[in-house]
């Protein structure tokens, strides 16, 4: 085990940090406040609505462990026994790297970030790049790449800081789009150069790779949590903890400085190479990943995966930034055949590690493609203009709809990748003497699991109708909802997808659901007591509950459902006939003077909420949807009006028998036989006075006089009457309209027989 110059001091500092974190946790449990432990571990204010409970402290334990490890890696110094670097430029690079690591660890929640700090950080980055260029021992082409990529990264950061200080002027917007590419442009060549330089250990290089990975995964913008006041901020908590463990960048910089003053690591043994095979095997391995590429490009589709599945949606919506751009680049590279180049490199070099890494990459790509297809649902998409900005116009959108049928399915890529991985592993596998026991165990277990998950030949996957496919869709031309045109089998599948009687996974093929439905139809039709009992014991289904779900594909169930529907229709028809008989039995009103128009409405009226209204030309500052006029009508219990709006109240639970009368002059007041009579003034009626229930009721005859636009007086009469039929009682309503200028509300009669 290698010892380091400052290892004891580093261990002591880490112990103090862990003790302080534990003490802060105890304070949190005692006081019930997270401030102490949150500042001690994450150096920022605690999240709102986050409870100070034991499980939150458990979530902080991995953060404390990772940060303690990072502090020791940074503070332990170089390994003992190494010569002190004599070159001035190496010493300058080491101290510049230490300063970079310290700069990265500054808590900006305590020390507010300003634009000039960004300028200083960019200048320090530029100095580090120049020193790396002079110190690295690597290929000639790598050193200029390090200088170019690092200078681009430093200048991009400098431009971003200056733009922030100037308030983000218009010229800075195109610059900001390119700053996201500058960090990988610097890290990729410098890590390759460190891997070629014998002074840097393999662990240091992999820490740099881990630093790049965590920076790509981390969101590029501040996330907004759409949670209610009493809901736990889960997303904010996850990203806060992720920020707490994102310490690999400073560790990589400090380890790089340590390595420059440490003894050089022992040279790695030359990797063993597998024997070359006859040309058909490597040719097959290279051609297999190209087959779906050719078919996809022939259809005009350069992308492998496209906007489908939960993985792509997570990277696009929740992560964004570097990783979203990297995913888009990976999607394009795989779509144009980059895996074939990786396979070509593997079969040419034939090292065991490269062969296994290539096969693993192909298997992972196959799994990602399969997951994308299996987790794609149409309802996950919003408007294409908002969601598909990264893809070329029209490639995945057509007439406002998401289209994923331009190329071949990613499942074809998955099949080709798996076949290629199998060829590599079978053709270039290690001899039996070199196969480790745990490798054989893992391979056998993975093969058994794969075989267990493969579908049987008679259960091949068919089409899957999602619940969203059964919902009405908006016509892009008329913007009206239209029911989908479905067959009887599709109606059954849609009913099952939305019915709680059956419990199928969302990915269950339609043919499996139909086969199960037909078996249940046989049980329902035979109605064998023992068979029904077994069904209830095995699946928890009762025969009576199957009639409606099976009606679309089962004639016996359809007959029962049709009989129930006919019985309900007869009951409704009898109910309506009873209402018509009730209104026909009410005495006709005999006007005391000749009306201009009188109509006895034959059909009984029904209201949802006991309100019927008429609209004319309301005032500009009046909201007809407000409650002012309803409150006024409820004060007299029958009717209210204001310019352009008339409102009549009835009881919502009983049918209303209506008579409408229009007069050219004021008729005499009639109160005999009526329980409630109220008269109001109505202005700005317009060309018609059509009263109806605005929730979808029938329009009553027009009360307006031909050619007369008002003002009117509206007199409403209401009375209850008994009925020996099913309704027990009903309502009579007589509405009169005649010219009149008064706006006064007059109640002529109001008895206690109300509702």
Among 70-79, 469-478, 624-633, 653-662, which range has the highest average pLDDT? 653-662
Give the DSSP letter of residue 316. Answer: I
651 close to 725: Cβ distance less than 8 angstroms: no
pLDDT at position 656: 92
Residues 695, 701: Cα–Cα separation, whole Å = 17
Q: Is the pLDDT of residue 457 over 50?
A: no
Q: What residues pair up with 612 in beta bridges, in sequence order?
A: 648
Q: Which helix (H) or strand (E) holds 234?
A: helix 234-245
The pair of three-digit structure tokens given for residue 711, joined into one six-digit string: 């003002």
For range 648-659, the mean pLDDT: 91
Q: How confident is the model at residue 385 (pLDDT cuts 50, 70, 90)?
A: very low
Length of the chain: 755
Question: Which residues make Cβ contacts (< 8 Å) with residue 580, sequence separation at least 6?
Answer: 602, 603, 604
Question: pLDDT tens digits for 219-234?
Answer: 543 344 444 444 566 6
Question: pLDDT tens digits for 552-581?
Answer: 888 888 888 889 988 988 888 888 888 888
SS3 label, residue 627: coil
723 close to 582: Cβ distance less than 8 angstroms: yes
Q: How confident is the model at residue 462 (pLDDT cuts 50, 70, 90)?
A: low
Residues 247, 62: Cα–Cα separation, whole Å = 13
pLDDT at position 454: 52
For range 229-246, the mean pLDDT: 71
pLDDT at position 440: 63
Domain spans, the chain: 280-432, 467-557, 591-750
Question: Which residues make Cβ contacts (< 8 Å) with residue 641, sequence separation at least 6?
Answer: 629, 647, 680, 681, 682, 714
Q: Which residue has the tokens 């039709």?
A: 525
Q: Which residue has the tokens 């590690």?
A: 353
At residue 722's C-alpha, the angle toward residues 716 and 726, to 5°, is 115
Architecture of domain 591-750: Sandwich (2.60)
Residues 391, 302: Cα–Cα separation, whole Å = 11
Q: Could you give the C-alpha distances from 217 to 109, 239, 296, 300, in angstroms and in order?
A: 22, 10, 29, 31
Helices 88-104 and 248-260 meet at what angle, rounded to 10? 160
* Sign of torsion over alpha carbons 7, 8, 13, 19: positive
Q: Is the pLDDT of residue 317 over 80?
A: no
pLDDT at position 735: 95
664 close to 711: Cβ distance less than 8 angstroms: no
**Percent of the chain whose pLDDT exceeds 70:** 83
pTM of the predicted model as reported, rounded to 2 decimal places: 0.49
Q: Which helix (H) or strand (E) holds 636?
A: helix 628-636
Output 136 or 728, whichever has higher pLDDT.
Answer: 136
Residues 370, 364: Cα–Cα separation, whole Å = 10
């Amino acid at each position: 085990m290698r010892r380091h110059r400052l290892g004891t001091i580093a261990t002591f500092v880490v112990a103090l940090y862990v003790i302080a974190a534990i003490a802060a946790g105890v304070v949190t449990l005692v006081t019930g406040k997270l401030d102490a432990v949150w500042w001690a571990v994450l150096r920022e204010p605690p999240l709102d609505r986050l409870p100070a409970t034991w499980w939150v402290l458990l979530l902080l334990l991995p953060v404390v462990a990772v940060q303690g490890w990072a502090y020791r890696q940074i503070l332990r110094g170089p390994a003992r026994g190494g010569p002190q670097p004599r070159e001035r430029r190496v010493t300058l690079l080491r101290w510049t790297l230490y300063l970079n690591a310290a700069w990265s660890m500054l808590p900006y929640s305590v020390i507010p970030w300003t634009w000039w700090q960004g300028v200083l950080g960019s200048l320090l980055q530029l100095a580090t790049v120049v020193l790396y260029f002079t110190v690295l021992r690597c290929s000639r082409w790598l050193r200029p790449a390090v200088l170019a990529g690092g200078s681009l990264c430093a200048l991009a950061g400098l431009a971003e800081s200056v733009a922030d200080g100037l308030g983000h002027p218009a010229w800075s917007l195109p610059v900001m789009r390119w700053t996201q590419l500058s960090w990988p442009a610097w890290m990729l060549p410098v890590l390759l150069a460190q891997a070629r330089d014998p002074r840097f250990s393999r662990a240091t290089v992999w820490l740099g790779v881990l630093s790049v990975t965590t920076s790509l995964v981390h969101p590029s913008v501040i996330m907004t949590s759409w949670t209610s006041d009493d809901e736990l901020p889960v997303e904010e908590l996850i990203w806060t903890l992720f920020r707490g463990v994102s310490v690999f960048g400073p560790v990589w910089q400090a380890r790089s400085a340590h390595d420059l003053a440490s003894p050089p690591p022992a040279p790695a043994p030359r990797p063993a190479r597998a024997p070359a095979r006859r040309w058909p095997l490597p040719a097959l391995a290279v051609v297999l990943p190209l087959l779906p590429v050719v078919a996809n490009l022939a259809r005009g589709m350069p992308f492998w995966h496209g906007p489908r599945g939960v993985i792509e949606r997570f990277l696009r919506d929740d992560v964004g930034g570097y990783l979203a751009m990297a995913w888009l680049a990976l999607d394009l590279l795989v779509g144009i055949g980059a895996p074939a180049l990786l396979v070509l490199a593997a079969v040419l070099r034939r090292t065991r590690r490269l062969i296994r890494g290539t096969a693993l990459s192909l298997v992972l790509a196959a799994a990602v493609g399969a997951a994308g297809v299996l987790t794609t649902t149409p309802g996950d998409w919003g408007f294409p203009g908002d969601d598909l900005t990264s893809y070329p116009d029209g490639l995945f959108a057509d007439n406002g709809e998401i289209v994923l049928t331009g190329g071949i399915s990613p499942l074809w890529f998955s099949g080709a990748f798996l076949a290629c991985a199998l060829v590599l592993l079978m053709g270039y596998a290690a001899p039996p003497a070199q196969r480790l026991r745990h490798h054989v165990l893992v391979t056998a277990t993975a093969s058994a699991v794969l075989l267990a998950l493969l579908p049987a030949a008679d259960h091949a996957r068919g089409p899957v109708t999602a619940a969203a496919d059964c919902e009405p869709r908006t016509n892009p031309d008329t913007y009206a909802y239209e029911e989908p045109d479905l067959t009887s089998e599709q109606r059954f599948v849609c009913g099952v997808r939305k019915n709680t009687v059956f419990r199928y996974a969302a990915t269950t093929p339609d043919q499996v659901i139909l086969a199960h439905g037909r078996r249940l139809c046989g049980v329902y039709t035979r109605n064998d007591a023992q068979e029904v009992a077994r069904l209830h014991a095995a699946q928890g289904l009762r025969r009576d509950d199957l009639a409606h779900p099976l009606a679309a594909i089962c004639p016996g169930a359809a007959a029962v459902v049709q009989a129930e529907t006919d019985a309900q229709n007869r009951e409704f028809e009898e109910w309506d006939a009873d209402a018509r008989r009730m209104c026909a039995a009410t005495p006709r009103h005999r006007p005391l003077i000749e009306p201009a128009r009188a109509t006895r409405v034959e059909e009984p009226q029904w209201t949802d909420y006991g309100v019927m209204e008429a609209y004319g030309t309301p005032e500009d500052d009046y909201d007809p949807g407000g409650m002012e006029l309803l409150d006024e009508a409820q004060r007299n219990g029958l009717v209210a009006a204001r310019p352009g709006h008339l409102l009549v109240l009835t009881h919502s639970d009983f049918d209303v028998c209506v008579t409408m009368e229009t007069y050219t002059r004021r008729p005499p007041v009639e109160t005999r036989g009526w329980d409630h009579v109220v008269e109001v003034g109505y202005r700005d009626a317009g060309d018609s006075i059509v009263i109806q229930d605005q929730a979808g009721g029938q329009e009553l005859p027009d009360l307006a006089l031909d050619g007369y636009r008002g003002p009117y007086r509206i007199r409403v009469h209401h009375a209850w009457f008994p009925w020996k039929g099913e309704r027990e009682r009903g309502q009579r309503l007589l509405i009169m309209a005649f010219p009149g200028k008064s706006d006064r509300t007059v109640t002529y009669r109001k008895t206690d027989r109300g509702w």
